[in-house]
Amino acid sequence: MSIVSVITGKKMVSVESPERTLPLTSLPTPVVQAFDPSVEYLVWNKENQVFHLKFKGERAERVMNVAIATSVLSNGTILGAELVNQAITALRNGGYLIVDEIETGLNRSLVGTVIELFASPVTNPHGATLLFSTHYSELLDVLRRKDNVFVLVRDDSFKTELIKYSERINRIENKKSDVIINNVIKGSMPKYPDVQAMREYVCEHING
């Protein structure tokens, strides 16, 4: 059973993996420019199966296929556009959006903005749910509640366990990121001796 099934209580959950290619659709300028302000517009021509891409400061637009457009734009722009497109679908239909390592390739503040879209009744009128994993504990500070945060920990016998944050931490004034970074929930951070051993190994092999 996956972590998704444990949290949602549903045995059958369909998960769509990101393709890391541009979605075959024209992307709204506000979405594109949030991730790359140098882009003036990015329009998909369905009939010819090409993108029309124009950068600010360039006179002519570039006409290119999906593969070339994907290589021209940054990985963060592509991942960001894909994430926002999937978020819009979930928010419009009131469904689940499941993202593994949501911070990958993206600016932390922009990830926080996407998370906040699901927290606001204005942008989430149908009760859509964003379920994400992250290695950046600072992203948890965006969340207003603590009963929807789960921490995957590993004990001394190397067994992993899913811990509900609110069952271990009662004080609401604690920043969630501080709790994780300071290893208040035991097993949520690497052990200091292990990290120190790695540092010593690197130093030894650098200094010969």
Quick check: 205 pLDDT over 50? yes
| Partners of 45 in beta bridges | 50
pLDDT at 158: 80
| Residue found under tokens 């951070």 | 189
Answer with the residue of higher pLDDT: 121 or 4. 121
CB 169 within 8 A of CB 146: yes
Contacts 24+ apart (CB under 8 A), 158-167: 161/187, 162/3, 162/6
Quick check: 43 pLDDT over 60? yes
Please state the rounded mean pLDDT for residues 29-56: 94
pLDDT at 1: 44
Q: Which helix (H) or strand (E) holds 129?
A: strand 129-132
Answer with the residue of higher pLDDT: 155 or 85. 85
| Residue found under tokens 């021209």 | 72
SS3 84: helix
Domains and CATH numbers, the chain: 3-135 (3.40.50), 150-208 (no CATH)
pTM for the whole thing? 0.76
The mean-pLDDT minimum among 120-124, 159-163, 188-192 falls in 188-192
CA atoms within 13 A on the CB side of 143: 22
Q: Which helix (H) or strand (E) holds 40?
A: strand 39-45
| Type of residue at 169 | I
Model confidence pLDDT, tens digit, residues 74-110: 988 888 888 898 899 999 999 889 998 898 888 888 8
SS3 50: strand
| Partners of 152 in beta bridges | 162
pLDDT at 114: 92
